[in-house]
Amino acid sequence: MSPCRKCESKCCRYFALQIDTPRSKNDFENVRWYVAHKGVKVYVKNSKWYLDIANRCRYLDKDHMCKIYDKRPLICREHSPEECERVAGDYGFSHIFHNLKELDKYLEKRFRKKRSTPKS
């Protein structure tokens, strides 16, 4: 049996793209917009920010196999079993945001105004 059937081809059910690292409050407005959408999350790994979109590959069949296996994209061909989502476990994310609540909590801490201490 193909190992892809065991995990229902998790790697074929999303894609992630690196995005510019947000720095200012204004930069984070785009990130807030992303996570306001269903099936979208943003994560940070190795100080790089990624947009993760849950969207099943159109060529994945009901048995979790690729219908275009011989002509699949290079990124699919290079995906190794050692990196497989089924066995990878901890992905090493320093942050992951599934929704506005999680992101806004992070932003509150990140942009908290430093309180001035009275001079004695």
The confidence score (pLDDT) of residue 9 equals 85
pLDDT greater than 90 at residue 31: yes
Q: Quick one: pLDDT at residue 92? A: 81
Give tens-digit pLDDT for 49-89: 999 999 999 999 998 899 999 999 999 999 876 677 666 66
Q: What band does 1 get if pLDDT is binned at 50, 70 and 90?
A: low
How many domains are contained in the chain?
1
Q: How far is CA 63 from the centre of its chain?
A: 25
Alpha carbon 111 to chain centroid, angstroms? 23
17 band by pLDDT with thresholds 50, 70 and 90: very high
Could you tell me if residue 115 is inside a domain?
no
User: What secondary structure does DSSP assign to 61-77, as a single string?
Assistant: -TTS-BTTGGG--HHHH
CA distance 6 to 2: 7
Q: Is 118 a domain residue? A: no
What does the chain come to in residues? 120
Residue 119 domain-assigned (yes or no) = no
Residue 120: Cβ-neighbour burial (10 angstroms; 0-12, 13-18, 19+): exposed
User: Is residue 36 situated within a structural domain?
Assistant: yes
Residue 19 counted as domain residue: yes
**pTM for this predicted structure:** 0.81
Yes or no: say if 13 and 57 are a contact pair by the CB < 8 Å rule. Answer: yes
Domain extent at residue 93: 3-110
Mean pLDDT comparison of 8-12, 75-79, 113-117, highest-scoring range: 75-79
